[in-house]
Amino acid sequence: MGGIYDVVIIGSGPAGLAAAIYAERAELNAIVIEKNVVSGGQVLTTYEVDNYPGEKGIGGYDLGMKFREHADSLGAEFVEDEVIRIEADGPVKRVVCAGDTYETKTVIIATGASHRKLGIPGEEELAGMGVSYCATCDGAFFRKKTTAVIGGGDVAIEDAIFLSRLCEKVYLVHRRDELRGAKSLQKKLFSLDNVEIVWDSVPERIQGEDKVESLVVSNVKTGEKRELKLQGVFIAVGITPNSSMFEGTVEMENGYIKAGEDCASSCPGIFAAGDVRTKALRQIVTAVADGANAITSVERYLTQL
């Protein structure tokens, strides 16, 4: 539609797509700016989603596509562009992107989060040569091989379960003696014969010439070092919010945009939804809830203009 939008939604993960659905139903003049060619965000690289109500066991990619199709069916408008900053000094905000600038009364930031890096020797040098951050994307390259997953959260456990179906052996290297991920996932993991959990251990360096050959881990309790011979290392040590372009525009806490359940940020007319917002639980179901809440807050804000 163009002109001055009622709302510009930045990001097309579950939060952004839910916001797009609610915006269309509220008949707002809305546009979704997405950085990637395919909508869906982190859910796209999830092998299986088992806790989204009504869709038990659905593939992450399929769920992402369903969200997008739902938004499309209502007439949501999408544009592929990369947001550089928001200029928010007047009642009309300007979302400045690499390709274009969009004028709008409100903005919903739903830029999500990306995987965190370990920062150990070999990680950067061997990225794409055996070091990966996405088991569902790259797992197939390691059929009948030995791999390690680093981390103890939901993603690390899911990755280890996924890889166990392809690989001869999978190590799960975790820095404590207890996993953080969901108990139901832990139960599945503990039942697998070809997964060895390397407890109380941190990765020190990834070794290899042109391709990964081994991972050196150190036991945090004993100081003992162990070299694991393997071909792949999957890093799943959490996420960092995609928020650096909004620094100085909205208040943040450890990189997350400070906002409550109404998704209102410190800057009037700018809302934050999904993983990029300060919140206790980051799941698909809470991201889509944010999308709905953010549009409701946008509507309330627009009536006060």
Question: Using CB under 6 A as the criterion, which residues of the chain lie in contact with ligand NAP when the complex forms?
Answer: 51, 118, 150-156, 158, 175-176, 180, 182, 202, 236-239, 282-283
In the bound state with ligand NAP, the residue whose beta carbon lies nearer, of 24 and 158, is 158
Least distance CB 283 / ligand NAP (angstroms) = 5
Neighbours of 187 (CB within 10 A): 9
Three-class secondary structure of residue 161 per DSSP: helix
Least distance CB 294 / ligand NAP (angstroms) = 19
The token pair that represents 63 in the structure block: 């769920």
In the bound state with ligand NAP, the residue whose beta carbon lies nearer, of 6 and 154, is 154
Write the single-letter amino acid at 57. G
**Distance from C-alpha of 24 to C-alpha of 245, rounded to nearest angstrom:** 27
Q: For the packed helices 14-25 and 60-73, what is the interaxial angle rounded to 10 degrees?
A: 20
Q: Are 252 and 259 in contact (CB under 8 A)?
A: no
In the bound state with ligand NAP, the residue whose beta carbon lies nearer, of 60 and 269, is 60
List C-alpha distances in Å: 64 to 68, 204, 275.
6, 35, 15
List C-alpha distances in Å: 55 to 48, 58, 63, 70.
10, 6, 8, 15
**Distance from C-alpha of 294 to C-alpha of 304, rounded to nearest angstrom:** 16
DSSP state of 194: T
DSSP state of 275: G
In the bound state with ligand NAP, the residue whose beta carbon lies nearer, of 47 and 72, is 47
Least distance CB 214 / ligand NAP (angstroms) = 18
Residues 6+ positions from 117 with CB-CB distance below 8 Å: 123, 124, 235
**Distance from C-alpha of 143 to C-alpha of 135, rounded to nearest angstrom:** 12
**Distance from C-alpha of 43 to C-alpha of 62, rounded to nearest angstrom:** 9
In the bound state with ligand NAP, the residue whose beta carbon lies nearer, of 93 and 282, is 282
Least distance CB 64 / ligand NAP (angstroms) = 14
Least distance CB 115 / ligand NAP (angstroms) = 7
In the bound state with ligand NAP, the residue whose beta carbon lies nearer, of 180 and 205, is 180
The dihedrals phi and psi of 182, each to the nearest 5 degrees, come to -55, 140
Residue numbers annotated as active site: 134, 137-138
- Which residue lies nearest ligand NAP, judged by its C-beta? 153
